[in-house]
Chains A and B, each alone.
Chain A
Amino acid sequence: MMHVCVREDQSQKCWIHPATLSQLNGELTSYFMISTSDSDFICQVWPNDQISTNCLSFSNSVFKNKSAHDSCNVNNYGDAIHMKTTNSKSLKLTLIVEDHQIIKLLKHDLKIHPSKVENMCKNLLYKYCVAEEFTVSVGQTQLGKIYGIYYILINSCEDENYDGFIINQQTEILVDCIVSKERFLQNIKPPDIGGLEKEARELCDILSLPFQGRSLISGEFKKVLPKGILLRGPPGTGKTSLVKHVGSECNAYIITVNSPEVFGARPGETEENLNKILDKALTFNEEGRTILFLDEVDTLCPDRRHLDGQKEINLTKLLVDFFDRITSNENIMVIGATNRPVSVDNVLRRPGRFDKEIMINVPNESQRLDILKKVTSSLPLSEDVDLERLAFITNGYVGADLVSVAREAVLIVILGCKKERKIKMDHFEQAVRKVMPSIRKGTVGLVELSPVQWSQIGGLSGVKGQIQQAVEWPIKHPEAFQRMGLPCPKGVLLYGPPGCCKTTLVRAAATSVNATFISLSGAQLYSPYVGDSERLINEVFQKARAAAPSIIFLDEIDSIVGKRSESSSNRGVQERVLSSLLNEMDGIGIKLDDKLHTSEKVKEGDITSSKSALQEGKSYKTENRNVLLVAATNRPDLLDDALVRPGRIDRILYVPPPDEEARFEIFKVYTKKMPLKNVNLEDLSKNTNLFSGADLQNLCREAALHALTDSLESTSVSMEHFRRALLTVEPSLTETMVEKYTKMLNRGP
C-alpha cells in the first residue's frame, strides 16, 4: 500500500521513486493499474526521485468507477499492479460530448463517413493505454475542446490476454453510441429506493415500452402510451427518489421543474422561465428518453377555481400546450408529483395530460423493512439489531422519517461513548422515540401514548381477554381473520361505571399493538365556527387512514355525540358531528384521491393482502390498513341507536366494577411500591365492596398519608392506617347504580 496523490491533468503519467519502481518490477514507460479504495486508474510510470519512496503521484485521466461528483481524496492509499500491455487492434467506444449540436454533427458524420469520427477518437486517444470499462477524460485537452468531446468510455477491447491496450494509428475504432455530458453525469449515481419496486417497474415499463419490439408497437399504438403520470402521496414517501431511480434505470434524462426556480418577479418572467425549461426538454428528447419532472405540481398549476391571479393560469396553459405538443413524441414523458392532488388543476388530470395516477402511500411493514435494509446497508450494525422489529414499531413512518431515524441513531452513537463503533438496537429505539413521523405532525388529537402494560391493570381478566380479542387480534393477526372470512370490527364500545379503568384498558391495548393512537375529546372537537367540528372529524379519520393501523379513541362519547332527539326539529352541532362520524365509519368520507388504486378497492375494515406479493410467493405478512374506533362511556343509554348498531360499533363490552378477586389484584398493583407492614390485602378486598379501581387507588393513597401524618419518619404502612382510611373514603358506586348497569347488560344497552 502506498500514499497516492491524484493530479488533475491529461498526461496519464505516474511519477514514482526509482527504488519503488524496481521493487514493483516495473521498467521505464511500462503501464500500471493503480487501485484506490473507490476507483482504478491506468498510468504510465516515469521514475522521479523528487517523490518519496512510498508515494505515487498520478493523473486521473484514465479511470474506472470514479463518481464524477466526488472530488478525489488526496490522502488516500492505493496499490499499483504492473499491466501486460499490447497495441490495441480494435476498440468499441461510447462518446460523451458537450452539447446537442455536437451530438447531431457526430451522428450525421457517423452515418455519412464513419472514418472521420474514428479518426477523431484515434487522435484523442493517441498513445493512451486503456482497458475495458475504463473512462478516458479528454475534456480538458486542446483537441477535446475543439472536438467537443468530454469523456470516452471504453466498452470492449476484444482481447482477453492482455490487461491494457495502447492506441495507435492502426487501431480500429467503432463508436457504439454518443451521449451528452449532462445525461451521462446525471445517471452516474442512482438513489436507492426501498419498498417501491412495483411502482418503479410500472414506470420503467411505460418508459421503455416504445423501445422494445419496435415492430410490435407501431405508430398507432405509440400514441396510446401514457405521456403523463401523476404521483401522489403524503410527503416523504419517496416520490422524487422514485423518479430519479427510474430515470437512471431507463437511462432517461430528468429535467426537474422546481417551482421556486420558475417563479419570477417581473410579469412574464415566470412564463419565460418555464418555456426555457420546456424547450430544453424538447432538445434533450432528440437525443434519447427524457423525463420532465414537475415537483410539487400543485404549486405550479393550482386549481383555477380558488384563484384570482392570472399568473398561475398562464403556467397551466403552457403545460397543457406542452402536453399537446408531445402526443406523438415517444421519447418524452411528464411526471408530476404532489401531496395535495385536490389542488391540482383539473385540466391536467385527464387522459391526454396526466393519463395515469399512481398513489404512493405510507409504507407498510414489509416496505418499511425493505427501506430500513437499504438505509442501514452502509452503517456498521451490531448483531443485536433486529430490523424486522424496528419495522414493526415504526408504524406511520415514511421513508424520509426512517432515514432520519438512522441518522439520529448514528448521532447517538457518535455523541455517546467514543469507543463504540457499532449501532445497537438500543440506539435505534432511542432514535425512534426522538423522531416523530411526519404524518403525525399537525394532527389534532394525536397524543403521546404513555405506555401501559397489561400487567399494570389488576383483575378484570375476562374483560381484558375480550378487549384483546376486539382490538388486538384484528391488528396483530389479520391473517387469521382473513382465513375465517371475518371482517374486522370497526368499532368497540366500552361501558361501565366510572373509575373502572376503561381508559386504561384502551391504552394498554394500543400499547400492545403499536398502532397510531388518536384521542379525541369533546373540548377539542367543538369550535365556535360552523362546520369546523365536522371538518375536524373528517381530518382525523383521513390521517388515521394514512397512518393505519390506528385506533381512534373517543372518551366520554356520550358528551361528544348524544342521542338525536325525536321531538325537536332543530339540528344542533352535536347531530352534525354525529352524522359525519357515522359517514366516516361507513367509509363514505374516503376521498377519491386517497384511494390506492381503482382496481384494488380498500374497504374500511377489510383486510387486504398485497396481491403481487402473493404471486411472487414471498411470505409477506397480511397487512391491515384498519382504523378502529374505540369509544368509552358510562351512559350507554344516551347513545344514538345508529351508532351502536353492528357494522359501526360491533362490539359492546361491559367493564364491571371490580369484584373481590379483582380488588385484591388492584391492591397488589397499587401497593407494589408501598412498604407494607402486617397488611392483609384479602381482608381489605372483602371490606371494599362497591369500590371502583379509582377509589381503591385513593384508599391506598389515604392510608399512606395517614401513616405520614403519624410521623414523617414512618417507614411503613400498617393495617391500622388502612382501617382509618376506610372510615373516610366512601365508595363512589352504589348498589342501584351497579344494578342499573347489570340490567342494561342483560337486555342490552
Chain B
Amino acid sequence: MENIDPRLKSAYQQLQKSYKILQQCQTTWKETLKQCQEEIDSLQNLSEQYTCCNEAGIDVLLLQLPDVREKLLYKISLEIDKKLSKLHINMNTLKECCDRISKQYDYSSTISKGLPLDLVTMTTETIPAFADMVEWLNDIDIMLHHQYWAKKHLLDTYTVQKFDSDNFMKMWNSGNNETTQKVNDALCYVKFLLDDT
C-alpha cells in the first residue's frame, strides 16, 4: 500500500475497516442463525404437538380429567411464546448486523464521491478495484436487509393454528446460501487488503 495515491489510501483504510466489520458480522450472523435454527426446530415440534393435542381423541382421559386438553394447550402456548421471544432477541442481533453494514456502506460511498474515476477503477495484483469493493458491500447490505426482514415477517405472521412447517422452513432458509456465498466471496477477494496493515 506504500506506493499508491494518498487519496485512495484513506479510502482503502475505510474499506479495510468496513470489511473487518463485515468479518465480525459474518461470524455473529452465522452463530445467531445457528441458535435460531435450534429454536425453530423446537417451535416446529411444539406446533405439531399443539395441533395433535387439539385434534386427538382423548375421550377416556377427558372423562377423568375434564380440563386436561385446555391445560395442555395452554402449556404448549406458553412454551411457544418463550421460543418466539427468544427468536425475537436473536432477530435483534441480526438487525444490528444489518445496520452496521449499512452504515459502513454509507461511509465508503461518501468517500468515493470525491475520487476520480480512473483511481476508483484501478486494480493491482493484490487489491481489487475500489468500485468493485463498494459494489459488493452494497450487494451484501441489500441482501442482509432482505434476509432480516423476510425472517422477521415470517416470525411476525406466525400463528400456531395456520402453521405450515415445510413452507415455513423453505421460506426461512431461502436466500441463506446465496448470502453466505456472497459474503465469503467478497471476503476472499479482499483477503490481501485485510492482511495489509
Contact = CB atoms under 8 A, between A and B. Distances in A.
Nearest to A120: B153
Contact of A28 (B115, B139, B171): B115
B145 A126 contact: yes
Interface stretch (A142-150, A468-476, A552-560, A667-675): A142-150
A142 B150 contact: yes
B139 A29 contact: no
B121 interface: yes
Nearest to B114: A27
A126 B147 CA distance: 12
B97 interface: no
Contact of A143 (B109, B113, B115, B149): B149
A314 interface: no
Interface in B42-101: none
A47 B131 contact: yes
A143 B154 CA distance: 10
Interface residues of A, number: 21
A93 B115 CA distance: 36
Interface string B137-153: 01101100111011001
Contacts of B1: none
Interface in A125-156: 126-127, 141-143, 145-147
Contacts of A126: 142, 145-146
A18 B118 contact: yes
Nearest to A26: B117
Given A46-B131, A126-B142, A142 B117 contact: no
Given A49-B121, A146-B153, A28 B113 contact: yes
A46 B135 contact: yes
Interface in A192-226: none
B36 interface: no
Contact of A22 (B117, B135, B139): B117
A608 interface: no
A145 B171 CA distance: 9
A143 B146 contact: yes
Contacts of A145: 174
B139 A146 contact: no
Contact of A123 (B131, B139, B149, B175): B149
A123 B98 CA distance: 12
A22 B134 CA distance: 18
A692 to B, nearest CB: 93
A22 B117 CA distance: 7
Interface in A23-81: 27-29, 46-47, 49
A11 interface: yes
A629 interface: no
Contacts of A127: 138, 141-142, 145
Contacts of A146: 150, 153-154, 171
A157 interface: no
B112 interface: yes
Interface string B156-180: 0000000000000001001100000
Given A29-B109, A123-B145, A143 B139 contact: no
A536 interface: no
Interface in A691-707: none
Given A27-B113, A123-B149, A143-B150, A47 B171 contact: no
A175 interface: no
Contacts of B142: 11, 126-127
Interface string A1-32: 00000000001010000100110000111000
Contacts of B150: 142-143, 146
Contact of A147 (B120, B145, B147, B153): B153
Interface string A229-240: 000000000000
B112 A47 contact: no
A141 B109 contact: no
Interface centre among B118, B150, B171, B174 (most CB of A within 10 A): B150
Interface of B: 109, 112-113, 115, 117-118, 120-121, 129, 131, 134-135, 138-139, 141-142, 145-147, 149-150, 153-154, 171, 174-175
Interface of A: 11, 13, 18, 21-22, 27-29, 46-47, 49, 120, 123, 126-127, 141-143, 145-147
Given A29-B109, A146-B171, 10 more contacts: A22-B117, A22-B118, A28-B120, A46-B131, A123-B145, A126-B146, A127-B142, A143-B150, A143-B153, A145-B174
